[in-house]
Amino acid sequence: MQQDFHMENFRRRSRYLLVFLVLTAAFLAITVLNINTGNVDISVSEILRILFKGTENTTEYNIIWKIRLPRILMAAILGGALSLSGFLLQTFFENPIAGPFVLGISSGAKMVVALVMIYFLEKFKVVSSYTLIIAAFIGSLLTIGFILLFSRRIHHMATLLVAGIMVGYICSAVTDFVVTFAEDSDIVNLHGWSQGSFSGMSWNNVAVAAVVVGITVLITFLFSKPIGAYQLGEAYAQSMGVNIKAFRVALILLSSILSACVTAFAGPISFLGIAVPYLIKRCLNTSRPLVVIPGTFLGGAVFCMLCDLIARTAFAPMELNISTVTSIFGAPIVIFMMLKRQKGMQ
Amino acid sequence: MADYYLKMEHLAVGYGGKPLIRDINIGIDKGEIVTLIGPNGSGKSTILKSITKQLKLVGGVVVFDQKSIGDMSYKALSTRMAVVLTERMKPELMTCHDIVATGRYPYTGRLGILSREDEEKVEAAMRAVHAEELGGRDFNNISDGQRQRVLLARAICQEPELIILDEPTSFLDIRHKLELLSILRTMAKQKQITVVMSLHEIDLAQKISDKILCVKGEFISHYGRPEEIFEEQTIKELYEIDNGYFDPCFGSIELPKPVGEPRILVLSSCGTGIPVYRRLQKEQVPFAAAILYKNDIDYRLARLLASETVAEEPFREISEESFARAMALIQSCERVIDAGVTVGDCNRRMEELLEAARLAGKLLEA
């Protein structure tokens, strides 16, 4: 019997390793693909030469360094952050269909960012990345606060989701209203952003996002033990020594920072936060946070980069909204999940 | 009260600061099994949740090994107290082995990775509840009985000194109930683990517990050893049963007796009457039983089911009075059933009764 468990452990670890290897390979492949496709095709050997040798000031050099690379990295960082934020919210609400977009958190963040952006552009002509992140963070917390207030009264999960979607609509309506009456010069910026897009990312953006997301992901990873306990339910987690009140606050803050960062830079992106954690858990065949957290981050990065590639190239030179692409892939997965859940209940 | 291992002093429990049950004063020794019994909604779970610190105490203290649980952190409690709750756990993609392993949580490091020693303890716990074969199964795809055993293994592997279980036997069939309780019994005696739990099955509570706590709404109606608690009257009051009957000797419960004048007389001894009583009870035919010695097993049931029981003190010869009463019953009843009577030196007169019934043309063989 004992031997069986050790074999089982070995099998599991091999599976984790395999999944991570595949994800890493996919990550690298998509990165390369992402760099070399576009309006200007650049061959792989050219890419390597530009990246490592650095022949400056050619058009290709500028395209890669100033446009494609920051955009790719941003898609990776934010895709990972959004997926992880979804995983945390699902843990918190004990509901696999919870996510920043569905619960209206992204829209709440978007609304506050739009307001702040218009105000700042009018007054100071500039708005820093940090200001936007803080604005998005406040927006996220406001919406989550509202949802929590609501969930205290209503324990039914479907109702909670409907409430989230309604909040999302209200916030989007306010955002549209503000955008409509904004100055012409702001509109171009705001419009593209409020639909969700990775275009026009600067290295400065990348650096800020990398620092904020990097730290948050690290802290989240260190929380994997209590998150694992929480998956058994609040009462059991408490009996295992988790300080539930503090833990719940931490969970909300972490997921808000992550989704706020995404909204601040790329606008709202749909379904990524639900689909990726689900797929990753199935692939790893576990819900153990210790592997699911890094897995979800990496998986989200790959998924988001792929979607961005499609958004960029499918109808080039026209560019699709990132949400258009993530919805096409993400929504069917969510429907599939619900069907499966329904079946499991019977 | 001073040297009890777990004690509750003037404890008041309830929700939102409103006391549901007041003034609970009990002491529990190390290694004892204490069972909370009482009707649904009487507050058994509320008491258990207060001991585990899931609920804030409304008043009083719970002292665990000389320390108030209010002063102990969840972390400090987690290595000493384990729980098995009624809430359905719905983990995602976790095997039974994973669930049991979560019991090691308080002992693992920052990232919760199990050491070889932890793994061995998980396996030992699985063995203790006879669940070795469940290790690789998905926790969501096992039966209720298996689930309870896995949860118990999880609690055991937390290496607690105190285990709190909220209705661990609900949803289990009789075999699994017995299995679970005997595991608890073994654990309490061998490892000196204190067990506090709630049970619906009063018969089982009587058999497994060292002490019984009767919870009835606002107060604790009784607390003590099962032999003190399991009086017919106590149980009847606790559950407010007025239409059913409880036998404290075996912890068995009976449906109410048929009402009315006895229509049938059952003559029996040494347990032969029991199946006949049950059949008559189901047919709702009022009956009398005669002549039973008070140490006869038939007497224990006749007492609860028969409209009238003619009884005799053990090992005495049948008295004139009892005999006359039995004869009168033969006259008044429509039928007399001979369920099988063993006749010895003391109860020779039973033969006379049988003969009288035969002559009256009322005797039926069972």
| Residue entry with tokens 């620092």 | A211
- Tell me what the mean pLDDT of segment B4-23 comes to: 91
Q: What is the mean pLDDT of residues B137-165?
A: 92
Q: Which chain A residue is nearest to residue B111, measuring alpha carbons?
A: A225
Task: Name the nearest CA neighbour of B284 among B302, B305, B268.
Answer: B305
| Shortest alpha-carbon distance between residue A247 and chain B (Å) | 13
Q: What is the DSSP-derived secondary structure letter of residue A54?
A: -
Sign for the pseudo-dihedral over CA of A98, A101, A103, A106: positive
Per the CB < 8 A criterion, the answer to whether B198 and B48 are in contact is yes
Whether B78 and A290 lie within 8 Å, measured CB to CB: no
pLDDT tens-digit readout, B89-117: 888 889 999 999 999 999 998 888 888 89
Scanning every residue of chain A, which has its alpha carbon at the shortest distance from the alpha carbon of B124?
A2
Residue A264 pLDDT greater than 70, yes or no: yes
Among B104, B107, B142, smallest CA distance to B123 is for B104
pLDDT at A121: 78
What pLDDT is attached to residue A186? 63
Which of B312, B298, B353, B352 has its CA nearest to residue B329? B353
Q: B123 and A1 in contact by Cβ < 8 A?
A: yes
Query: Residues for chain A: how many in total?
Result: 346
Contact B74/A285, CB-based, under 8 Å?
A: no
According to DSSP, the residues that pair with B170 across neighbouring strands are: none
Mean pLDDT is lowest, of A118-122, A311-315, B300-304, for A118-122
Is B165 in CB contact (< 8 Å) with chain A?
A: no
Of B249, B233, B332, B253, the C-alpha closest to B290 is: B332
CA-based nearest distance B99→chain A, Å:
9
pLDDT of A154 strictly over 70: no
Distances (CA, A) of B42 to B6, B7, B213, B217, B255: 22, 20, 12, 5, 23
Quick one: B243 exposed, middle or buried, by C-beta within 10 A (0-12, 13-18, 19+)? exposed
pTM score: 0.86
* Cβ within 8 Å, pair A233-B87: yes
- A87, A99 Cβ separation under 8 angstroms: no
What ipTM, to 2 d.p.?
Answer: 0.83
Q: Looking at residue A1, what is its pLDDT?
A: 46
CA distance B175 to B337: 36
pLDDT score recorded for residue B112:
87
pLDDT at A272 over 60: yes
Confidence band of B62 (pLDDT split at 50, 70, 90): very high
**How many angstroms separate the CA atoms of A9 and A1, rounded?**
13
Separation in Å, CA of B104 to nearest CA in chain A:
9
Answer yes or no: is pLDDT of A224 > 90. Answer: yes
Whether the pLDDT of residue B175 is over 90: the answer is no
Using an 8 Å CB-CB cutoff, list chain A residues near B122.
5
B174: closest CA of chain A, how far (Å):
26
For tokens 């069917």, name the residue.
A332
Q: CA A198 to CA A192: how far, in whole Å?
A: 9
Contact B75 A236 (CB under 8 A): no
Percent share of chain A, pLDDT over 70 = 90
CB-based contact B93 A281, cutoff 8 Å: yes
Phi, psi of B9, rounded to the nearest 5 degrees: -120, 120
Among candidates B73, B102, B112 on the partner chain, residue whose Cβ is nearest the Cβ of A232? B102
Show the DSSP H helices in B192-244 as ranges. 202-208, 226-229, 232-239
Whether chain A has a CB inside 8 Å of the CB on B159: the answer is: no
CB neighbourhood size of A318 (10 A): 8
Tell whether B91 is within 8 A of chain A (Cβ).
Answer: yes
pLDDT of residue A344: 55
Of A120-124, A168-172, B294-298, the one with minimum mean pLDDT is: A120-124
Give chain A positions within 8 Å (CB) of B92: 96, 231, 281, 287
Instruction: Using alpha carbons, select from A37, A33, A70, A65 the residue that is nearest to residue A49.
Output: A65
Distance of residue A240 Cα from the nearest chain B Cα, in angstroms: 5
Which residues numbered 39-58 in B keep a CB inside 8 Å of some CB on A?
52-54
Q: Which pLDDT value is given to residue A346?
A: 46
Continuous segment of H or E residues that includes residue B162: strand B162-166
